[in-house]
Amino acid sequence: MAISTPTNMNVTQMQAAQSNNLALYIHWPFCVSKCPYCDFNSHVRDKIDMTSWRHALLADMAHEAALLPDRTLTSIFFGGGTPSLMPPELVSDIIAQAALHWRFSDDIEITLEANPSSVEAARFADLAQAGVNRVSLGMQSFDDAELSFLGRAHSAKEGLAALDTAQTHFGRVTFDLIYALPEQSLEDWQAMLAKALAFGTGHLSLYQLTIEPNTRFASDVRRNVFAPMDDERAADFYLATAQQTQAAGLNAYEISNYAASQQQSRHNLTYWRYGDYAGIGPGAHGRRGGMATERHKKPENYLSAIERNQHGMKVENLLTPIEAAQEAVLMGLRLMEGIDLHALEQRFKLARENIIDMESLAILTSQNICTFNGNILNINDESRLLLDGILAQILRFSPQTMV
C-alpha cells in the first residue's frame, strides 16, 4: 500500500507543536470464548502460531515507527480480545522493541487488559517482569449469577483472587464492572459498587450494559429472551454511580471512568484529547499526523497482509481539517473537562462555526443540556448519557466519516 504524505493543511500543522508525545496500542484478537455483549474484534481459535504472531506484530510496529520517528512514547496499551493470553515473553519482546523505536517517557504507562481467571493470574508476575505496570481486569461483576448471564468464564471467587494477585504485582490496578443489567436493582448495584470501592484501586471503569448490534445479546433481545433496562431507570444508575464514586474519592473524568487524583488512564486520555497514537494488530485504529489508519480485522487477513507488505494496513485516509476537528469534539466531549473551542480554532485553523452548529448549541444551552462560557463547551451531568444525540445536533459531520 502506498503511504500518503500529509498535505500542508493537516492536523500535524494544526498544532503538532502542541506535543511530541505518542501512544501505542497493540491489539491481541484472541479470546477463550466470545462474551454475548461484546462487539470488539475478538476471535476464538483452536491453535495460535505464536512465532507468526511475534513476527507480525513486531513488523507492524516497525512500519509505524518508521512513519513516526523521534517521538516520545507515553503509554502502551495491550487490548483485545484477551491480551493476558499472550505469552509474557511476547509482551516483553514488544515492549523491548518499542523502546528501540521510540524514547520512553520517564513515567510511561504500560497497561494490559486481563481476564481475572486463575490461569491468567498465574502469569501476572511474569507480565510485571516483562514491563507491564498497570493491569485492567475484566471483572464485570462480583455475583456468580450475573457473571453467568454475561457469559464470563470466571467465578466471583476466582475474580477476587485474581484482583488480590494483581494488586500484589502491579503498581496500578483498575477493573471493569457492568451495571444496569435487566433485573438488577439500584440497591444491589450500590452494594456491589461499595464492595468495589473498598478494594482501594485508584481507578474503576463502570459501564452501563448496552445492547450492541451483531452480538448474541442483540439476538436475545430480538427474540424476547430478555428486555434491557429502560433508559430512564438506567440514567438513575448512572447518576447514583457518579455520586457514590465521588464520595469515595474517585471522580468521574469520562463517561464511564472514575479515578483518584493522578490515576486517570493516560493512554485513554490521549484518545479523548485527540493526541497521536499508533495502532497495530488486527482491526487496530490509529491517528498520526492527520492520518486515520485501520488494520485488517480478521486475524488470517492481517497475517497475510504482513507477509505481503510488512504491515497490516487496510485503510489509511488523510482527514480534512474539519473531519479532524469534529473527531476532536466527538472524543473530547466524553471528558468531564469538556473542550475549549478557542483552542480547537487555533489547533485546526478553523472558525468554530465550521466545527460546531452554534445555533443548535445555543438551543441546547438554553435547555440546560450543555454549558458554554464562550470558550469551554461541556455536557451537563444529567445529559451525558444523551451524548450521541447531542453530537448529532451540534456537529457538522456525516457519521460514516468517523472511525
- Which cell goes with 171? 503498581
Judge whether 165 and 116 are in contact, CB under 8 Å.
Answer: no
CA 35 to chain centre: 17
| Structure confidence at residue 382 (pLDDT) | 86
Task: Output DSSP code: residue 355.
Answer: T
- Residue 19: per-residue pLDDT: 72
Residues in the chain: 403
Per-residue pLDDT tens for 359-403?
Answer: 999 999 999 999 999 999 999 988 988 999 999 999 965 544 444
Comparing CA positions, the residue from 173, 182, 227, 178 lying closest to residue 202 is 173
What is the 3-state composition of the chain as percent helix, strand, coil, each rounded to the nearest 5? 45, 20, 35
Q: What pLDDT was estimated at residue 59?
A: 98
User: pLDDT value at position 345?
Assistant: 95
What is the reported pLDDT for 381? 87
Tell me the pairing of strands 291-295 and 285-288.
antiparallel
46 CB neighbour count, 10 Å cutoff: 4
Show the low-confidence residues of the chain (pLDDT under 50): 1-18, 399-403
pLDDT at 8: 37
**pLDDT score at 397:** 58
- In DSSP notation, 146-174 reads HHHHTT-SS-HHHHHHHHHHHHHH-SEEE
Which domains occur in the chain, in start order?
Answer: 17-272 (3.20.20.70), 338-403 (no CATH)
